[in-house]
Amino acid sequence: MTKANDLIAEYRNTGTLGVLPAGHFIDGAFSQPAHNRTMESFDPGSATPFVRFTAGTKEDVDQAVASSRRAFDAVWRDTAPVERSRILQRASALILENLDLLAVVETLDSGKALQEAMGDVRGAARAFEYYAGACDKLQGDSFPLGPDYVGYTIHEPVGVTAHVIPWNFPISTAARGFAPALAAGCSVVAKPAEQTPFTALLLADLLFKAGLPAGVCNVVTGTGVETGAPLTAHPDVDHITFTGSVQTGRTVMKAAAEDITRVVLELGGKSPVVVLADCDREQALSGVLGAIFENAGQICSAGSRLVIEKSIHDDFVAELVARAKALKLGHGLSNPDVGPVNSSEHLAKINGFLDRARSDGAEIVTGGSVTEDPATGRGWFFEPTIVDAVSADNELAREEIFGPVLTVQIADDADHALALANDCQYGLVAGIYTSDFAKAHRLARRIDAGQIYINEYFAGGIEVPFGGNKKSGFGREKGLEGLISYCKTKSIAARIG
Protein backbone atom coordinates (compact mmCIF):
# COMPACT_ATOMS: atom_id res chain seq x y z
CA MET A 1 0.00 0.00 0.00
CA THR A 2 1.10 3.57 -0.71
CA LYS A 3 2.55 5.12 2.44
CA ALA A 4 1.57 8.51 3.81
CA ASN A 5 5.04 10.02 3.28
CA ASP A 6 4.98 9.07 -0.41
CA LEU A 7 1.52 10.57 -0.88
CA ILE A 8 2.52 13.75 0.95
CA ALA A 9 5.64 14.06 -1.21
CA GLU A 10 3.54 13.57 -4.37
CA TYR A 11 1.10 16.27 -3.26
CA ARG A 12 3.84 18.74 -2.40
CA ASN A 13 5.57 18.13 -5.73
CA THR A 14 2.50 18.15 -7.98
CA GLY A 15 -0.28 19.90 -6.07
CA THR A 16 -2.58 16.90 -6.42
CA LEU A 17 -2.79 13.11 -6.07
CA GLY A 18 -2.98 10.77 -9.04
CA VAL A 19 -5.04 8.16 -7.17
CA LEU A 20 -8.12 10.35 -6.71
CA PRO A 21 -11.21 8.82 -8.35
CA ALA A 22 -13.17 10.45 -11.15
CA GLY A 23 -16.92 10.17 -11.70
CA HIS A 24 -19.65 8.75 -9.52
CA PHE A 25 -19.50 5.21 -8.12
CA ILE A 26 -22.54 3.35 -9.49
CA ASP A 27 -23.08 -0.36 -10.17
CA GLY A 28 -19.65 -1.35 -8.91
CA ALA A 29 -17.59 1.04 -11.02
CA PHE A 30 -16.61 4.67 -11.40
CA SER A 31 -18.94 6.01 -14.07
CA GLN A 32 -19.35 9.09 -16.19
CA PRO A 33 -22.12 11.50 -15.20
CA ALA A 34 -25.16 12.30 -17.30
CA HIS A 35 -23.72 15.78 -17.87
CA ASN A 36 -19.97 16.13 -18.03
CA ARG A 37 -19.67 18.88 -15.43
CA THR A 38 -17.04 19.23 -12.72
CA MET A 39 -16.27 21.45 -9.73
CA GLU A 40 -13.19 22.23 -7.67
CA SER A 41 -12.19 20.61 -4.40
CA PHE A 42 -10.08 22.86 -2.15
CA ASP A 43 -7.27 22.11 0.27
CA PRO A 44 -8.28 24.20 3.31
CA GLY A 45 -4.71 24.25 4.61
CA SER A 46 -3.54 26.24 1.58
CA ALA A 47 -6.88 27.71 0.42
CA THR A 48 -6.19 26.42 -3.09
CA PRO A 49 -7.97 23.89 -5.33
CA PHE A 50 -6.14 20.59 -5.78
CA VAL A 51 -8.44 18.61 -8.08
CA ARG A 52 -11.77 18.70 -9.90
CA PHE A 53 -14.58 16.21 -9.31
CA THR A 54 -17.94 15.36 -10.82
CA ALA A 55 -20.85 17.74 -10.29
CA GLY A 56 -23.82 15.43 -10.51
CA THR A 57 -27.46 16.05 -11.39
CA LYS A 58 -30.89 14.55 -10.78
CA GLU A 59 -30.31 12.12 -13.65
CA ASP A 60 -27.27 10.70 -11.86
CA VAL A 61 -29.28 10.37 -8.64
CA ASP A 62 -32.04 8.56 -10.50
CA GLN A 63 -29.50 6.14 -11.97
CA ALA A 64 -27.94 5.47 -8.57
CA VAL A 65 -31.28 4.90 -6.82
CA ALA A 66 -32.48 2.58 -9.58
CA SER A 67 -29.23 0.61 -9.29
CA SER A 68 -29.60 0.30 -5.53
CA ARG A 69 -33.25 -0.75 -5.86
CA ARG A 70 -32.34 -3.53 -8.29
CA ALA A 71 -29.48 -4.71 -6.12
CA PHE A 72 -31.62 -4.68 -2.98
CA ASP A 73 -34.55 -6.56 -4.53
CA ALA A 74 -32.55 -9.10 -6.51
CA VAL A 75 -29.54 -9.81 -4.31
CA TRP A 76 -28.78 -8.10 -1.05
CA ARG A 77 -31.96 -8.41 0.99
CA ASP A 78 -31.80 -12.20 0.66
CA THR A 79 -28.05 -12.59 1.09
CA ALA A 80 -27.42 -14.81 4.11
CA PRO A 81 -26.48 -12.77 7.20
CA VAL A 82 -23.27 -14.73 7.65
CA GLU A 83 -22.21 -13.81 4.11
CA ARG A 84 -23.00 -10.15 4.72
CA SER A 85 -20.84 -10.45 7.84
CA ARG A 86 -17.90 -11.85 5.88
CA ILE A 87 -18.09 -9.04 3.33
CA LEU A 88 -18.12 -6.36 6.03
CA GLN A 89 -15.18 -8.03 7.78
CA ARG A 90 -13.21 -7.97 4.54
CA ALA A 91 -14.16 -4.32 4.07
CA SER A 92 -12.83 -3.52 7.55
CA ALA A 93 -9.52 -5.19 6.70
CA LEU A 94 -9.27 -3.33 3.37
CA ILE A 95 -9.88 0.01 5.07
CA LEU A 96 -6.95 -0.63 7.40
CA GLU A 97 -4.78 -1.78 4.48
CA ASN A 98 -5.51 1.58 2.84
CA LEU A 99 -5.18 3.61 6.04
CA ASP A 100 -2.52 6.01 4.74
CA LEU A 101 -4.28 6.71 1.46
CA LEU A 102 -7.66 7.34 3.06
CA ALA A 103 -6.17 9.53 5.81
CA VAL A 104 -4.11 11.71 3.47
CA VAL A 105 -7.09 12.19 1.15
CA GLU A 106 -9.30 13.02 4.14
CA THR A 107 -6.78 15.60 5.35
CA LEU A 108 -6.51 17.28 1.95
CA ASP A 109 -10.28 17.34 1.51
CA SER A 110 -11.36 18.39 5.00
CA GLY A 111 -8.28 20.15 6.36
CA LYS A 112 -8.07 18.16 9.59
CA ALA A 113 -4.75 17.12 11.10
CA LEU A 114 -3.35 13.90 9.67
CA GLN A 115 -3.29 12.13 13.03
CA GLU A 116 -6.98 12.95 13.48
CA ALA A 117 -7.74 11.66 9.98
CA MET A 118 -5.91 8.42 10.74
CA GLY A 119 -8.02 8.03 13.87
CA ASP A 120 -11.14 8.56 11.77
CA VAL A 121 -10.09 5.88 9.28
CA ARG A 122 -9.38 3.41 12.07
CA GLY A 123 -12.79 4.24 13.49
CA ALA A 124 -14.39 3.54 10.12
CA ALA A 125 -12.73 0.13 10.00
CA ARG A 126 -13.97 -0.55 13.53
CA ALA A 127 -17.54 0.37 12.49
CA PHE A 128 -17.52 -2.29 9.76
CA GLU A 129 -15.95 -4.79 12.15
CA TYR A 130 -18.60 -4.10 14.80
CA TYR A 131 -21.58 -4.43 12.48
CA ALA A 132 -20.07 -7.45 10.75
CA GLY A 133 -20.42 -9.17 14.10
CA ALA A 134 -24.06 -8.11 14.37
CA CYS A 135 -25.34 -9.36 11.00
CA ASP A 136 -26.27 -12.84 12.22
CA LYS A 137 -27.42 -11.69 15.67
CA LEU A 138 -30.25 -9.51 14.38
CA GLN A 139 -33.12 -11.51 15.80
CA GLY A 140 -36.68 -10.83 16.88
CA ASP A 141 -38.78 -11.77 19.90
CA SER A 142 -41.47 -14.35 20.62
CA PHE A 143 -44.65 -13.60 22.55
CA PRO A 144 -46.40 -15.83 25.11
CA LEU A 145 -49.88 -15.91 23.56
CA GLY A 146 -50.94 -19.21 25.07
CA PRO A 147 -50.99 -22.83 23.84
CA ASP A 148 -53.12 -22.17 20.75
CA TYR A 149 -50.95 -19.42 19.21
CA VAL A 150 -47.45 -18.66 18.01
CA GLY A 151 -46.35 -15.03 17.98
CA TYR A 152 -43.03 -13.55 16.99
CA THR A 153 -41.30 -10.60 15.33
CA ILE A 154 -38.71 -10.43 12.57
CA HIS A 155 -36.50 -7.51 11.55
CA GLU A 156 -36.61 -6.83 7.82
CA PRO A 157 -34.31 -4.39 5.97
CA VAL A 158 -36.08 -1.12 5.28
CA GLY A 159 -34.86 -1.00 1.65
CA VAL A 160 -32.94 1.68 -0.24
CA THR A 161 -31.28 4.09 2.19
CA ALA A 162 -30.02 7.59 1.38
CA HIS A 163 -27.03 8.96 3.30
CA VAL A 164 -26.20 12.67 3.24
CA ILE A 165 -22.66 12.98 4.60
CA PRO A 166 -21.22 16.16 6.18
CA TRP A 167 -17.83 17.72 5.49
CA ASN A 168 -16.42 17.66 9.02
CA PHE A 169 -16.14 13.86 9.45
CA PRO A 170 -16.60 12.44 5.95
CA ILE A 171 -15.33 8.87 6.31
CA SER A 172 -16.47 8.50 9.92
CA THR A 173 -20.03 9.55 9.18
CA ALA A 174 -20.16 7.47 6.01
CA ALA A 175 -19.00 4.35 7.84
CA ARG A 176 -21.34 4.72 10.80
CA GLY A 177 -24.26 4.85 8.33
CA PHE A 178 -23.12 2.43 5.62
CA ALA A 179 -22.09 -0.37 7.98
CA PRO A 180 -25.37 -0.85 9.90
CA ALA A 181 -27.46 -0.31 6.77
CA LEU A 182 -25.53 -3.00 4.89
CA ALA A 183 -25.54 -5.29 7.94
CA ALA A 184 -29.34 -5.06 8.10
CA GLY A 185 -29.61 -5.96 4.41
CA CYS A 186 -30.32 -2.48 3.02
CA SER A 187 -28.73 -0.90 -0.03
CA VAL A 188 -27.05 2.51 0.09
CA VAL A 189 -27.02 5.65 -2.04
CA ALA A 190 -24.70 8.29 -0.58
CA LYS A 191 -24.22 11.94 -1.32
CA PRO A 192 -21.01 13.29 0.31
CA ALA A 193 -20.60 16.99 1.01
CA GLU A 194 -19.44 18.97 -1.99
CA GLN A 195 -16.38 20.09 0.03
CA THR A 196 -15.26 16.51 0.80
CA PRO A 197 -16.29 14.00 -1.88
CA PHE A 198 -13.38 11.60 -2.12
CA THR A 199 -13.30 9.22 0.86
CA ALA A 200 -16.93 8.20 0.30
CA LEU A 201 -16.04 7.28 -3.29
CA LEU A 202 -12.96 5.36 -2.18
CA LEU A 203 -14.96 3.60 0.54
CA ALA A 204 -17.60 2.44 -1.95
CA ASP A 205 -14.86 1.04 -4.18
CA LEU A 206 -13.29 -0.83 -1.23
CA LEU A 207 -16.68 -2.31 -0.33
CA PHE A 208 -17.07 -3.60 -3.87
CA LYS A 209 -13.57 -5.07 -3.74
CA ALA A 210 -14.53 -6.75 -0.46
CA GLY A 211 -17.31 -8.59 -2.25
CA LEU A 212 -20.31 -6.30 -1.95
CA PRO A 213 -22.51 -6.91 -5.01
CA ALA A 214 -22.62 -4.17 -7.64
CA GLY A 215 -25.26 -1.56 -6.93
CA VAL A 216 -25.60 -2.24 -3.21
CA CYS A 217 -23.52 0.87 -2.40
CA ASN A 218 -23.56 3.80 -4.81
CA VAL A 219 -22.10 7.29 -4.36
CA VAL A 220 -23.12 10.42 -6.27
CA THR A 221 -21.16 13.66 -5.88
CA GLY A 222 -22.22 17.25 -6.43
CA THR A 223 -23.98 20.12 -4.71
CA GLY A 224 -26.76 19.88 -2.18
CA VAL A 225 -29.19 21.56 -4.56
CA GLU A 226 -28.49 19.41 -7.61
CA THR A 227 -27.82 15.99 -6.01
CA GLY A 228 -28.71 16.14 -2.31
CA ALA A 229 -32.22 17.52 -2.79
CA PRO A 230 -33.20 15.04 -5.54
CA LEU A 231 -31.89 12.19 -3.39
CA THR A 232 -33.79 13.09 -0.23
CA ALA A 233 -36.97 13.74 -2.25
CA HIS A 234 -36.70 10.56 -4.34
CA PRO A 235 -39.88 8.45 -4.14
CA ASP A 236 -37.92 5.18 -4.32
CA VAL A 237 -35.79 5.96 -1.24
CA ASP A 238 -37.12 4.20 1.87
CA HIS A 239 -34.98 5.84 4.55
CA ILE A 240 -32.81 8.97 4.90
CA THR A 241 -29.89 9.40 7.26
CA PHE A 242 -28.88 13.05 7.37
CA THR A 243 -26.11 14.77 9.31
CA GLY A 244 -25.88 18.54 9.05
CA SER A 245 -27.41 21.84 10.06
CA VAL A 246 -30.82 22.39 11.61
CA GLN A 247 -31.88 24.51 8.64
CA THR A 248 -31.03 21.81 6.09
CA GLY A 249 -32.49 19.15 8.40
CA ARG A 250 -35.85 20.92 8.24
CA THR A 251 -35.67 20.87 4.44
CA VAL A 252 -34.88 17.14 4.47
CA MET A 253 -37.81 16.45 6.79
CA LYS A 254 -40.17 18.36 4.52
CA ALA A 255 -38.95 16.43 1.47
CA ALA A 256 -39.28 13.12 3.32
CA ALA A 257 -42.85 13.97 4.37
CA GLU A 258 -44.05 13.89 0.77
CA ASP A 259 -43.55 10.13 0.57
CA ILE A 260 -43.63 9.41 4.34
CA THR A 261 -39.95 8.43 4.14
CA ARG A 262 -38.26 7.46 7.38
CA VAL A 263 -35.50 9.78 8.63
CA VAL A 264 -32.70 9.86 11.18
CA LEU A 265 -31.47 13.41 11.76
CA GLU A 266 -28.21 14.28 13.51
CA LEU A 267 -28.17 18.06 13.59
CA GLY A 268 -26.43 20.81 15.52
CA GLY A 269 -25.11 21.07 19.03
CA LYS A 270 -24.04 23.59 21.65
CA SER A 271 -22.83 21.05 24.14
CA PRO A 272 -21.97 21.99 27.72
CA VAL A 273 -18.96 20.69 29.63
CA VAL A 274 -19.83 20.97 33.30
CA VAL A 275 -16.71 21.29 35.46
CA LEU A 276 -17.35 21.18 39.20
CA ALA A 277 -15.02 22.28 41.98
CA ASP A 278 -14.22 18.72 43.07
CA CYS A 279 -13.00 17.61 39.62
CA ASP A 280 -9.62 16.12 38.82
CA ARG A 281 -8.13 19.40 37.55
CA GLU A 282 -5.69 17.95 35.01
CA GLN A 283 -8.27 15.54 33.67
CA ALA A 284 -10.75 18.37 33.23
CA LEU A 285 -8.27 20.77 31.63
CA SER A 286 -7.14 18.30 28.99
CA GLY A 287 -10.72 17.19 28.40
CA VAL A 288 -12.09 20.69 27.91
CA LEU A 289 -9.20 21.61 25.59
CA GLY A 290 -9.71 18.57 23.36
CA ALA A 291 -13.49 18.91 23.40
CA ILE A 292 -13.38 22.28 21.63
CA PHE A 293 -10.14 22.41 19.66
CA GLU A 294 -10.08 18.94 18.06
CA ASN A 295 -10.83 19.29 14.32
CA ALA A 296 -10.71 23.07 14.86
CA GLY A 297 -13.98 22.85 16.75
CA GLN A 298 -15.84 21.63 13.68
CA ILE A 299 -17.67 18.84 15.50
CA CYS A 300 -21.41 18.75 16.10
CA SER A 301 -20.75 17.28 19.55
CA ALA A 302 -17.89 19.66 20.42
CA GLY A 303 -17.79 20.85 24.01
CA SER A 304 -18.33 24.46 23.00
CA ARG A 305 -19.68 25.70 26.37
CA LEU A 306 -17.59 25.43 29.53
CA VAL A 307 -19.97 25.62 32.49
CA ILE A 308 -17.66 25.96 35.48
CA GLU A 309 -18.21 26.41 39.21
CA LYS A 310 -17.32 29.91 40.36
CA SER A 311 -14.90 28.80 43.09
CA ILE A 312 -12.40 27.35 40.60
CA HIS A 313 -13.14 29.59 37.62
CA ASP A 314 -10.24 32.03 37.74
CA ASP A 315 -7.33 29.59 38.00
CA PHE A 316 -8.91 27.04 35.68
CA VAL A 317 -9.59 29.51 32.87
CA ALA A 318 -6.15 31.10 33.26
CA GLU A 319 -4.52 27.69 32.75
CA LEU A 320 -6.86 26.90 29.86
CA VAL A 321 -5.89 30.17 28.17
CA ALA A 322 -2.19 29.38 28.58
CA ARG A 323 -2.67 25.97 26.96
CA ALA A 324 -4.78 27.37 24.13
CA LYS A 325 -2.08 29.95 23.35
CA ALA A 326 0.50 27.16 23.12
CA LEU A 327 -1.41 25.21 20.47
CA LYS A 328 0.36 25.06 17.10
CA LEU A 329 -1.59 25.85 13.95
CA GLY A 330 -0.67 24.44 10.56
CA HIS A 331 -1.55 22.50 7.44
CA GLY A 332 -3.16 19.18 8.26
CA LEU A 333 -0.34 17.21 6.62
CA SER A 334 2.15 18.77 9.06
CA ASN A 335 0.27 17.23 12.00
CA PRO A 336 -0.51 20.47 13.87
CA ASP A 337 -2.41 20.78 17.13
CA VAL A 338 -5.13 22.71 15.28
CA GLY A 339 -5.74 22.67 11.55
CA PRO A 340 -7.71 25.00 9.29
CA VAL A 341 -11.46 25.37 9.03
CA ASN A 342 -13.02 23.82 5.97
CA SER A 343 -13.87 26.75 3.70
CA SER A 344 -13.63 30.50 3.25
CA GLU A 345 -17.40 30.76 3.73
CA HIS A 346 -17.23 28.96 7.05
CA LEU A 347 -14.26 31.05 8.17
CA ALA A 348 -16.28 34.19 7.51
CA LYS A 349 -19.20 32.80 9.52
CA ILE A 350 -16.99 32.09 12.55
CA ASN A 351 -15.39 35.50 12.28
CA GLY A 352 -18.81 37.14 12.17
CA PHE A 353 -19.67 35.70 15.59
CA LEU A 354 -16.49 37.13 17.10
CA ASP A 355 -16.86 40.51 15.41
CA ARG A 356 -20.33 40.86 16.90
CA ALA A 357 -19.10 39.67 20.29
CA ARG A 358 -16.26 42.20 20.23
CA SER A 359 -18.69 44.99 19.36
CA ASP A 360 -20.85 43.93 22.32
CA GLY A 361 -17.89 44.16 24.69
CA ALA A 362 -17.28 40.42 25.15
CA GLU A 363 -14.27 39.38 27.23
CA ILE A 364 -12.16 37.55 24.61
CA VAL A 365 -9.32 36.25 26.76
CA THR A 366 -7.41 34.62 23.90
CA GLY A 367 -7.73 34.38 20.12
CA GLY A 368 -10.73 35.84 18.35
CA SER A 369 -9.27 36.53 14.89
CA VAL A 370 -8.73 35.08 11.44
CA THR A 371 -5.14 33.95 10.89
CA GLU A 372 -3.08 31.75 8.54
CA ASP A 373 -0.62 28.89 8.51
CA PRO A 374 2.50 30.40 10.11
CA ALA A 375 4.70 28.27 7.83
CA THR A 376 3.17 29.45 4.55
CA GLY A 377 0.98 32.47 5.23
CA ARG A 378 -1.92 30.67 3.52
CA GLY A 379 -5.00 28.71 4.43
CA TRP A 380 -8.32 29.23 6.22
CA PHE A 381 -7.44 29.43 9.91
CA PHE A 382 -9.06 30.85 13.01
CA GLU A 383 -7.21 31.35 16.26
CA PRO A 384 -8.10 29.06 19.19
CA THR A 385 -10.48 31.32 21.06
CA ILE A 386 -11.89 31.53 24.59
CA VAL A 387 -14.59 34.04 25.56
CA ASP A 388 -15.06 34.37 29.32
CA ALA A 389 -18.07 35.15 31.51
CA VAL A 390 -20.70 34.92 28.77
CA SER A 391 -24.34 35.44 29.77
CA ALA A 392 -26.88 32.75 29.02
CA ASP A 393 -28.79 34.96 26.58
CA ASN A 394 -25.73 35.85 24.44
CA GLU A 395 -25.61 34.28 20.97
CA LEU A 396 -22.16 32.86 21.78
CA ALA A 397 -23.85 30.69 24.41
CA ARG A 398 -26.92 29.85 22.32
CA GLU A 399 -25.89 29.45 18.67
CA GLU A 400 -23.65 26.81 17.11
CA ILE A 401 -20.45 28.51 15.93
CA PHE A 402 -18.83 25.27 14.69
CA GLY A 403 -15.29 26.48 15.11
CA PRO A 404 -12.45 26.71 17.66
CA VAL A 405 -14.39 29.02 19.98
CA LEU A 406 -15.06 28.15 23.64
CA THR A 407 -17.73 30.06 25.55
CA VAL A 408 -17.30 30.16 29.35
CA GLN A 409 -20.36 30.33 31.63
CA ILE A 410 -19.94 30.67 35.41
CA ALA A 411 -22.14 28.63 37.76
CA ASP A 412 -22.71 29.22 41.47
CA ASP A 413 -23.03 25.50 42.23
CA ALA A 414 -24.04 22.15 40.69
CA ASP A 415 -27.74 23.06 40.51
CA HIS A 416 -26.95 26.31 38.73
CA ALA A 417 -24.63 24.42 36.36
CA LEU A 418 -27.50 22.06 35.53
CA ALA A 419 -29.80 24.98 34.76
CA LEU A 420 -27.19 26.57 32.48
CA ALA A 421 -26.48 23.27 30.74
CA ASN A 422 -30.17 22.76 29.91
CA ASP A 423 -30.82 26.39 28.89
CA CYS A 424 -30.22 25.65 25.23
CA GLN A 425 -32.17 24.77 22.09
CA TYR A 426 -29.80 21.86 21.43
CA GLY A 427 -29.42 18.56 23.25
CA LEU A 428 -26.77 16.47 21.54
CA VAL A 429 -24.15 15.63 24.19
CA ALA A 430 -22.80 16.95 27.48
CA GLY A 431 -19.69 16.42 29.57
CA ILE A 432 -19.35 16.27 33.35
CA TYR A 433 -16.13 16.50 35.37
CA THR A 434 -16.44 15.71 39.08
CA SER A 435 -14.95 13.24 41.55
CA ASP A 436 -18.36 12.73 43.18
CA PHE A 437 -19.77 9.61 41.50
CA ALA A 438 -23.30 10.13 42.81
CA LYS A 439 -23.34 13.80 41.78
CA ALA A 440 -22.12 12.87 38.29
CA HIS A 441 -24.91 10.40 37.70
CA ARG A 442 -27.60 12.68 39.13
CA LEU A 443 -26.48 15.35 36.66
CA ALA A 444 -26.29 12.81 33.84
CA ARG A 445 -29.91 11.87 34.41
CA ARG A 446 -31.14 15.47 34.49
CA ILE A 447 -29.16 17.01 31.60
CA ASP A 448 -31.29 16.90 28.46
CA ALA A 449 -28.91 15.41 25.90
CA GLY A 450 -28.64 12.22 23.91
CA GLN A 451 -25.25 11.21 25.30
CA ILE A 452 -23.38 12.15 28.47
CA TYR A 453 -19.63 11.86 29.00
CA ILE A 454 -18.33 11.61 32.56
CA ASN A 455 -14.67 12.47 33.25
CA GLU A 456 -13.65 11.90 29.61
CA TYR A 457 -15.08 13.87 26.73
CA PHE A 458 -15.80 11.78 23.60
CA ALA A 459 -15.74 8.62 25.74
CA GLY A 460 -17.14 5.46 24.16
CA GLY A 461 -17.08 4.35 20.55
CA ILE A 462 -19.14 2.62 17.89
CA GLU A 463 -20.77 0.48 20.58
CA VAL A 464 -22.50 3.50 22.20
CA PRO A 465 -25.71 4.89 20.60
CA PHE A 466 -25.35 8.49 19.45
CA GLY A 467 -27.94 11.12 18.61
CA GLY A 468 -29.68 14.20 19.89
CA ASN A 469 -32.70 15.67 21.61
CA LYS A 470 -34.47 18.98 20.99
CA LYS A 471 -33.11 20.73 17.88
CA SER A 472 -30.16 18.35 17.72
CA GLY A 473 -32.41 15.89 15.91
CA PHE A 474 -33.81 12.45 16.59
CA GLY A 475 -33.04 8.81 15.98
CA ARG A 476 -29.86 7.06 16.97
CA GLU A 477 -26.75 5.95 15.14
CA LYS A 478 -24.02 3.60 16.38
CA GLY A 479 -24.57 0.67 18.69
CA LEU A 480 -27.30 -1.91 18.19
CA GLU A 481 -29.86 0.90 18.13
CA GLY A 482 -28.16 2.15 14.99
CA LEU A 483 -28.73 -1.25 13.40
CA ILE A 484 -32.42 -1.24 14.29
CA SER A 485 -32.75 2.17 12.57
CA TYR A 486 -32.37 0.35 9.25
CA CYS A 487 -34.99 -2.32 10.00
CA LYS A 488 -38.75 -2.71 9.78
CA THR A 489 -40.18 -4.79 12.60
CA LYS A 490 -42.84 -7.23 11.43
CA SER A 491 -45.11 -8.97 13.94
CA ILE A 492 -46.56 -12.38 13.12
CA ALA A 493 -49.28 -14.15 15.10
CA ALA A 494 -50.68 -17.54 14.13
CA ARG A 495 -53.44 -19.71 15.57
CA ILE A 496 -52.24 -23.29 15.75
CA GLY A 497 -54.86 -24.81 18.06
Q: Looking at 116, 266, 294, 383, which residue is catalytic? A: 266
Taking CA atoms, 89 is separated from 124, 125, 182, 203, 423, in Å, by 12, 9, 12, 14, 43
For residues 335 and 327, is the Cβ–Cβ distance under 8 A? no
Taking CA atoms, 68 is separated from 27, 185, 219, 300, in Å, by 8, 12, 10, 30
Q: Could you give the CA distance from residue 87 to residue 298 in angstroms, rounded to a whole number? A: 32
Name the residue among 72, 58, 244 with its Cα closest to residue 159.
72
Q: Looking at 300, 424, 477, 487, which residue is catalytic? A: 300
300 is catalytic: yes
Three-state SS string over 156-169 comes to: EECCEEEEEECCCC
Q: Phi and psi (nearest 5°) for 31?
A: -125, 155
Coil/strand/helix, residue 244: coil
487 is catalytic: no
Task: Give the count of beta carbons closer than 10 Å to the beta carbon of residue 17.
Answer: 18
Q: Which amino acid is at 151?
A: G
Is residue 207 within a helix (H) or strand (E), and if so which, with residue range?
helix 198-209
Catalytic site residues?
A: 266, 300
